[in-house]
Amino acid sequence: MKDVLAHRCRPLLRDLAGRHTLLAFDFDGTLAPIVASRHRARLSAATIRLLRALSEAWPCAVLSGRSRADVRSRLGGARLIAVVGNHGAEEEPRLDGAVAWRRKVRAWRRRLDADLGGVPGIDVEDKGLSLALHVRGREARRAAERALLELEGARIVGGKRVLNAVVRAAPDKGEALDRLVRRGGYEGVLFVGDDDTDEDVFRFPAAAPLLGVAVGRRRQSAAEYYLRRQGDVARLLSLLERLRRDEPRPGQRPPSGSASLANRSGRSTGAPRVMLRNFHVAQ
């Protein structure tokens, strides 16, 4: 993995700034730090200012495991092109199948209430289109895992002190981001995320080249770039806003040695899209 804030990655980010690029972010652990209580998660004042400025200069989106209403209420009024909730299942307009998915999740909740009621260290969060089991302690996690395995049609995704039950037939974050890319005709995407469900984006063969950035260097991640810590997300936002503000005029040649989108995809801007996963920096 390569540090996306390293100087050698600057030409790549500068090239993105001169193109029709979508910026997309996870919320918890990415835009906002992880906190003990999910209800207290919030953006810092500095991040709010940066996200507002960035969303004026770039098309920006947030893809979160939270419900859309929940995460939207925490974004400080930034003007985003899209907010996707429930790990990719909750979009606007509502996806076909959402009514059936909600029925399935309600049935899961009843089953878990019966199986886990009274088990200490487990807090079941019902988000309508998915469930999150917040667990504290080894025994609680084992009990939650056993109960989740009994849920029909569920895909279980781990996380930081949480286990997520999502409808297997519903789209994940990778599919949701791909729809945003196709809808907007973007030439490239930068996505930043920190958790297991964000790997669905890093692994997905999107309709435009993807620069995947993991928060924290993880050997098992499919992302090719990383930020050392959540606090570095603000540094990346500031850099992206500055590069967009200083982008070259149309027709101006990209900086020498840049890892341009056209070079990486083997096509000009107007050529048909190719299925690429990640950018690579020229060495």
What residues are labeled active site? 26
The DSSP output letter for 196 is G
**Location of structure tokens 């899961």:** 108
| Dihedral angle computed from the Cα positions of residues 17, 22, 27 and 29, in that order, rounded to the nearest 10 degrees | -50
CA distances to 55, 228, 245, 259, 281 from 6, rounded to whole Å, are 23, 11, 20, 14, 11
CA distances to 3, 20, 61, 233, 274 from 229, rounded to whole Å, are 11, 28, 21, 8, 32
Helix 232-245, helix 10-17: angle, nearest 10: 50
Output the six-digit token pair for 206. Answer: 């999107």
Our measurement of the distance from residue 274's CA atom to the centroid of its chain's CA atoms, rounded to an integer in Å, reads 22
Judging by DSSP bridges, how do beta strands 162-167 and 130-135 pair with one another? antiparallel
Residue 178 has φ and ψ, to the nearest 5°, of -60, -40
Among residues 64, 61, 33, 73, the alpha carbon closest in space to that of 127 is found at 64
* CB count in 10 Å sphere of residue 12: 24
Residue count (the chain): 283
Q: What is the DSSP string of 41-108?
A: ----HHHHHHHHHHHHHS-EEEE-SS-HHHHHTTSTT---SEEEBGGGTB-SSPPTTHHHHHHHHHHH
